[in-house]
Amino acid sequence: MSIVKDQNLAPAGRRKINWVRDFMPALGGIEARFEQEQPFAGLRVAVSVHLEAKTANLGYVLAKGGAEVRLTGSNPLSTQDDVAAGLADMGVETFGIHGAMGEEYENLLIETLKFKPHLIVDDGGDLIHLLGGKCADLGEHLIGGCEETTTGILRLKAREREGILPCPMMAVNDAKAKHYYDNKYGTGQSVWDAIMHTANLVVAGKTVVVAGYGWCGKGVAMRAAGMGASVIVTEVDPFKALDATMNGFRVMPMDEAARYGDIFVTVTGCKDVITPKHFAVMKHNAILTNAGHFDCEVDVAGLAAMAVKRELRRDNIEGFTLPDGRVLNVIGEGRLVNLAAGNGHPAEIMDMSFSVQALALEWLVKHRDGLEKKVYQVPAEIDDAIGRVKLAAMGLSIDALTPEQEEYLNGWKA
């Protein structure tokens, strides 16, 4: 029942999936246990995450754990057609076509939900949006789910406050394994990998403007500075702005930073971060990218309305010529740049993030009878277990507290 662009692409997709499986040892260990214990036997799991090789591996691992899995993409431009075909060939029902927009994209999400899942894995809230609205009837068997992104968790908490959250949800993005590792180091590397591969331009010596200094923004700014760029950070949070300053970055409003930037990266999870008033003062040939979940941080429609000419200048780069002759360049249509124009986070990074997803789903099943329709944090024991497995996989070890030290830290008598 899979819906993919071309099933003949399966061999290439399977090669990609098999490659990343060799570099995801933590998830591999979970797979071995799941295959033996079958924690999801008789359960249906719907997954909506960027449809590329690491996500395919997660879907395959859940299926090995006994689940009936349906997997779709969470962004039209991040879906890789060969991976979708490869995963379908491996026995996981897959619904994803690169470039599917609007109604076609939504229909793929709906097809994914039609088997009425018990569990969901969401990335940005697309599945929850449907299950809390037009597809509410498809959520009658829901036990719970996991959310991968900061943006998605904000939406979940808003639904919880209004009493309209359709099922218990785990805030996977808030796990230490996710924001310490994935958001900072994964985003930091994959954003620049995508920009450099797509633009084929030097980073050293340029001025990079990073909008947002959360965990993702920290990674993007750190890697830009490491490659020799001068970094400006824009923020709305005073303490994040102070943190950026203490790390050696200039801090200023976007209204000012817009004049200086050669490359812009938005990482806020908000909308209208870069707008026509900023385009009006930017340098000729400035490059605009977004590393937040949705394509509303850079107002591409507003830029198009200002432009007298719009053309494809290079694969995944559109140039917008303004009336005064300046050209502003947008990578990946203003969508998530590291996936719309790249391969996403490295396999070793997603090994930890998807291990959290897998173990969080198992936790939901085990605790299903006592859960309310609210947002839950990932238990510390899951985080710590994944961290220790990852250290071991890297050949590293750490100290352990003695009973006396634990008593000293947790008591008051000393």
Shared-domain flag, residues 261 and 215: yes
For residue 47, the model assigns a pLDDT of 98
Shared-domain flag, residues 255 and 359: no
Shared-domain flag, residues 147 and 279: no
Q: Annotated binding residue at 218? A: yes
Q: Annotated binding residue at 186? A: no
- Structural domain contains residue 413: no
- The number of domains in the chain is 2
Q: Annotated binding residue at 269? A: no
Shared-domain flag, residues 315 and 380: no
Q: Annotated binding residue at 217? A: yes
User: Quick one: which H or E segment has residue 20?
Assistant: helix 10-21
For residue 302, the model assigns a pLDDT of 98
Q: Annotated binding residue at 219? A: yes
SS3 readout for 38-55? CCCCCCEEEEECCCCHHH
User: Quick one: which H or E segment has residue 340?
Assistant: helix 337-340
Shared-domain flag, residues 314 and 378: no
Q: Per-residue pLDDT tens, the chain, 414 aa: give them.
A: 899 999 999 999 999 999 999 999 999 999 999 999 999 999 999 999 999 999 999 999 999 999 999 999 998 889 999 999 999 999 999 999 999 999 999 999 999 999 999 999 999 999 999 999 999 999 999 999 999 888 899 999 999 999 999 999 999 989 988 888 899 999 999 999 999 999 999 999 999 999 999 999 999 999 999 999 999 999 999 999 999 999 999 999 999 999 999 999 999 999 999 999 999 999 999 999 999 988 999 999 999 999 999 999 999 999 999 999 999 999 999 999 999 999 999 999 999 999 999 999 999 999 999 999 999 999 999 999 899 988 988 899 999 999 999 999 999 876
Shared-domain flag, residues 82 and 212: no
Cα distances (angstroms) measured from residue 277 to each of 280, 308, 333: 5, 17, 19
Shared-domain flag, residues 43 and 124: yes
Contact, 93 vs 84, CB < 8 A? no
Distance CA 50, CA 53 (A): 9
Decide which of 304, 339, 374 is a domain's last residue: 339
Q: Annotated binding residue at 215? A: yes
Report which of 58, 71, 56 is spatially closest to residue 1, judged by C-alpha positions: 71
Q: Annotated binding residue at 214? A: yes
- Structural domain contains residue 172: yes
- Structural domain contains residue 32: yes
Which residues, in sequence order, are bridge partners of residue 218?
Answer: none
For residue 180, the model assigns a pLDDT of 82
- Structural domain contains residue 412: no
Contact, 323 vs 305, CB < 8 A? no
For residue 33, the model assigns a pLDDT of 96
pTM across the whole model: 0.89
Q: Annotated binding residue at 50? A: no
Q: Annotated binding residue at 292? A: yes
Domain harbouring 197, CATH code: 3.40.50.720
For residue 352, the model assigns a pLDDT of 93
In the sheet that holds 287-290, the strands lie side by side as 250-251, 230-234, 207-211, 263-266, 287-290, 327-331, 317-321, 309-314
Structure tokens at 84: 């979708």
Shared-domain flag, residues 309 and 372: no
- Phi and psi at 386, nearest 5°, equal -65, -40
Q: Annotated binding residue at 42? A: no
Q: Annotated binding residue at 129? A: no
Distance CA 195, CA 368 (A): 43
Shared-domain flag, residues 309 and 373: no
Shared-domain flag, residues 157 and 204: no
- Structural domain contains residue 204: yes
- Structural domain contains residue 397: no
Domain harbouring 164, CATH code: 3.40.50.1480
For residue 389, the model assigns a pLDDT of 86
Shared-domain flag, residues 257 and 212: yes
For residue 156, the model assigns a pLDDT of 96
- Structural domain contains residue 152: yes
Q: Domain residues for 387? A: 1-178+344-392
- Phi and psi at 202, nearest 5°, equal -75, 145
Distance CA 175, CA 121 (A): 15
Q: Annotated binding residue at 149? A: yes
- Structural domain contains residue 263: yes
Distance CA 296, CA 303 (A): 12
Shared-domain flag, residues 43 and 28: yes
Cβ–Cβ contacts within 10 Å for residue 59, how many? 27
209: three-class secondary structure by DSSP: strand
